[in-house]
Amino acid sequence: LCIGRAITGVAIGMGAACYVYVAEISLPEHRGFLSAFGPIFVSLGVLLVYSFGYLFNWQVASAACAVCAAVSASIMSLIPESPSWLLAHCKEKKARQAIVWFRGDTDQASKELADLSEAMMAKKLENEESGNQWSPFLRPSVWKPFLILVTFFIFQEGSGLYIMLYYAVNFFQESGSTMDKYVLCIIVAFMRLVMSIVGTLCIKRFNRRTMACVSGLGMALSMGVAGCYEYLYASLDVLERPLPWLPQLCIVANVCTSMLGMLQLPWIMIGELFPTTVRGIMGGLVSSLAYFFIFVVVKVYPQCLQYMHVHGMMWSFAAISLSTIVFVLLFLPETQGRSLIEIEAQFKGKKEVRKEGEPSP
């Protein structure tokens, strides 16, 4: 069991590479939409595992998960490496083939390859001039995204997002729900899947900052209302409370609105904000910190609940969700429709950058 958990943990950690890979192979106008499929498939996987656990014994559920992992590994062996990675390792011919494979257009592939080669050459010259192997990590284009993403993840965990997902069944039962707890798990997972699909469709139409603000506002309102209800009526028996369905509705609303931006955006932006030369390393580092934050908040929540009670925890979640909106408006860069080269240039302080696909002068 411990070995299985260790292997699964490594696999989950490697999931960050998926966001980096999708960001590197996608066109700017499609990058957010395609990256948002990550949370959809995570939600689908959670729903399937909950359903397998409810319908079958653990041996059958484990075998089904093993089959899914084997199929994923087989499919991954059929697709090429990202052009950016290939160029960084001096494999220009394979990089051109990869772009052609993804785009199906030789002319467009030539333009993209020229853009990537020019950016790679500029970075190589910068590294040679500095003469310091650590210099790439000390540049504003690296440490600024790092601080922004780590702070975004801290706000994400502090908003109670994962606590609501992991402890939703407990909240339902404490608010008087008599449904089977396993069925409740499946219902929450299904709602998460539906709203992750809705969030993906919204990413196609709305910019990142707007979605993060709307998601944070929805989470703050739902937790604020639920906290007030618990503060006023927690002392009463469940059957004597007015509108007993209200806290359950607030929990559903919190889970749903979290899928509109707060959950997926930090993960998506891991593949967008860092320069190519350090994207893999920094993406892995930020992902590791994010999982560490999740571990901490989920484990300390029961202890905090003893001191702050349910209404205090919900009010704190609401306050942090509102604080996230302020953070987004002040510091989160807008990346929708912008190339990775443009995003990197923004952190360097360059205002005019040639678009991907435009011919070199």
Q: Is 152 a member of any domain? A: yes
- In terms of residue numbers, what domain contains 98? 82-122
What tens digit of pLDDT does each residue of 236-280 get?
887 788 888 888 889 889 988 998 889 889 988 888 888 877 887
Are 280 and 144 in a shared domain?
A: yes
Q: CA-CA-CA-CA torsion for 176, 179, 183, 186, nearest 10 degrees?
A: -30
What tens digit of pLDDT does each residue of 218-230 get?
999 999 999 999 8
Q: Is 263 a member of any domain? A: yes
pLDDT confidence of residue 79: 87
Are 166 and 213 in a shared domain?
A: yes
Closest CA relative to residue 45, chosen from 61, 32, 31: 61
Q: What is the 3-state secondary structure (H, E, C) of 27-87?
A: CHHHHHHHHCHHHHHHHHHHHHHHHHHHHCCHHHHHHHHHHHHHHHHHHHCCCCCCHHHHH
Mean pLDDT of 26-43: 83
Are 171 and 108 in a shared domain?
A: no
Are 333 and 271 in a shared domain?
A: yes
**Please, what is the average pLDDT of the chain?**
83
Q: Is 24 a member of any domain? A: no
* Pairwise CA distance, residues 8 & 262, whole Å: 25
Higher local confidence (pLDDT), 67 or 10: 67
What's the predicted TM-score (pTM) here?
0.81
Are 104 and 198 in a shared domain?
A: no
Are 86 and 182 in a shared domain?
A: no
Instruction: Kindly state the percentage of the chain with pLDDT values over 90.
Output: 21
Instruction: Kindly state the percentage of the chain with pLDDT values over 70.
Output: 91
Q: Is 74 a member of any domain? A: no
pLDDT confidence of residue 103: 83
Q: How confident is the model at residue 357 (pLDDT cuts 50, 70, 90)?
A: very low
Check if the beta carbon of residue 217 is closer than 8 Å to that of residue 60: no
Are 222 and 293 in a shared domain?
A: yes
Are 177 and 274 in a shared domain?
A: yes
pLDDT confidence of residue 178: 66
Are 225 and 144 in a shared domain?
A: yes
Are 189 and 315 in a shared domain?
A: yes
Q: Is the pLDDT of residue 350 over 50?
A: yes
Q: Is the pLDDT of residue 358 over 50?
A: no
Are 112 and 155 in a shared domain?
A: no
What tens digit of pLDDT does each residue of 150-194 get?
999 999 999 998 888 788 777 777 766 667 777 888 888 898 899
Are 300 and 153 in a shared domain?
A: yes
What tens digit of pLDDT does each residue of 319-345 get?
999 999 999 999 999 888 787 778 888
Q: How confident is the model at residue 134 (pLDDT cuts 50, 70, 90)?
A: low
Number of domains into which the chain is organized: 2
pLDDT confidence of residue 214: 94
Q: Is 179 a member of any domain? A: yes
Q: Is 184 a member of any domain? A: yes
Q: Which of 122, 149, 179 is a domain's end point? A: 122
Q: Is 181 a member of any domain? A: yes
Q: Within a 10 A sphere around the Cβ of 85, how many other Cβ atoms?
A: 20
Q: How confident is the model at residue 118 (pLDDT cuts 50, 70, 90)?
A: confident
Higher local confidence (pLDDT), 74 or 348: 74
| CATH number of the domain that residue 190 is part of | 1.20.1250.20
Q: Is 309 a member of any domain? A: yes
CA distances from 177 to 9, 168, 238, 247, 257 (A): 33, 11, 9, 11, 22
Mean pLDDT of 47-63: 87
Check if the beta carbon of residue 20 is closer than 8 Å to that of residue 280: yes
For 173-211, b/e burial (b = at least 16 CB within 10 A) is eebebeeeeeebbbbbbbbbbebbbebbebbeebebbeb
* Pairwise CA distance, residues 223 & 321, whole Å: 9
